[in-house]
Structure 1
Amino acid sequence: MKRDLFTDDHEAYRDAVREFLKREVVPNWERWDDEHMIDRSVYVKAAQTGLYGLQIPEQYGGAGEMDYRYRMVVAEEIAKTGATSFAVTIAVQDDLVLHYLRDLTTDEQRERWLPPFAAGELIGALAMTEPGAGSDLRGIRTRAVQDGDDWILNGQKTFISSGIMADVVIVAAQTNPDAGSRGFTLFVVETGMPGFERGRQLDKIGLMGQDTAELFFRDVRVPAANVLGGVGRGLQNLMSHLPRERLGLTINAFAKARAIFEETRRYCADRVAFGNTLDSLQHVRFELAEMSTELDVAEAYVDKSVLAYNVDELTPTDAGKGKWYLTDLEKRVIDRCLQLHGGYGFMREFHVGRAYIDTRVETIYGGTNEIMKDLIGRELVQELHRHE
Structure 2
Amino acid sequence: MSTTQLDEFRRHCRDFLAQAATPRVAAWEAQGRVDRDFWEQAGAAGLLGMGVSRELGGRGESDFRYAMILIEELIRAGMSVPGLVSHNDVIASYILTLGTPEQKQRWLPELCSGRAIGAIAITEPHAGSDANELTTRAERQGDRYELNGSKAYITNGHNADLVVVAVKTADAQRGQGISLLVAERGAEGFSRGPLRAKLGWHASDTTDLFFERCLLPADNLLGRENLGSFYFMTAMIRERLSISTVAVASMETALEQTLAYAKARTVFGQPVGSFQHNRFTLAKLDTEIRIARLYLDDAIARFNAGALSLVDAARLKLWVTELQGKVADRCLQLHGAAGYMGESGIGKNWVNSRVQQIYGGTSEVLQELISKSLGL
TM-score by length of 2: 0.98
Q: Is the 8 A contact 1:150 1:224 kept in 2?
A: yes
Three-state SS of the structure 2 residue aligned to 1:313 is coil
- What is the number of equivalent residue pairs in this alignment? 376
Cα displacement string for residues 88-143 of structure 1 (whole angstroms, at most 9, x for unaligned residues): 21111111111011111111111110111111111011000011111000001111
2:98 to 101, 104, 113: 104
Distance 2:311 2:322 in 1: 17
Q: Is residue 11 from structure 1 mapped to residue 10 from structure 2 by the alignment?
A: no
1:139-154 alignment runs, 5 A limit = 139-154=133-148
Distance 2:124 2:352 in 1: 22
Distance 2:103 2:54 in 1: 16
Residue matched to 2:256: 262
Q: Is the 8 A contact 1:264 1:337 kept in 2?
A: yes
Distance 2:177 2:348 in 1: 42
Residue matched to 2:72: 76
Residue matched to 1:386: none
Consecutive unaligned residues of structure 1, counting only runs of 5 or more, are: 383-388
Three-state SS of the structure 2 residue aligned to 1:343 is helix
Q: Is the 8 A contact 1:334 1:355 kept in 2?
A: yes
Distance 2:194 2:112 in 1: 28
Look up the equivalent residue of 1:172 and give its one-letter code.
A
1:366 to 334, 340, 360: 360
Distance 2:319 2:18 in 1: 31
Q: 1:6 Cα shift?
A: 7.5
Q: 1:82 Cα shift?
A: 2.1
Residue matched to 2:314: 320
Distance 1:54 1:169 in 2: 19
Q: 1:204 Cα shift?
A: 1.3
Three-state SS of the structure 1 residue aligned to 2:375 is helix
Distance 1:264 1:236 in 2: 42
Residue matched to 2:373: 379
Q: Is the 8 A contact 1:52 1:71 kept in 2?
A: no
* Large movers: runs of 4+ above 4 Å: none
TM-score by length of 1: 0.95
Q: Is the 8 A contact 2:169 2:179 kept in 1?
A: yes
Cα displacement string for residues 70-97 of structure 1 (whole angstroms, at most 9, x for unaligned residues): 11111111212222x1x22111111111
Three-state SS of the structure 2 residue aligned to 1:28 is helix
Q: Is the 8 A contact 2:17 2:74 kept in 1?
A: yes
Q: 1:64 Cα shift?
A: 1.3
Distance 1:179 1:225 in 2: 26
Q: Is the 8 A contact 1:131 1:158 kept in 2?
A: yes
In angstroms, what is the RMSD of aligned CA positions? Answer: 1.3
- State, as a whole percentage, how many aligned pairs show the same letter: 38
Distance 1:187 1:168 in 2: 10
1:228-377 alignment runs, 5 A limit = 228-377=222-371
Distance 1:177 1:312 in 2: 33
Q: Which moved more, 1:109-118 or 1:275-284?
A: 275-284
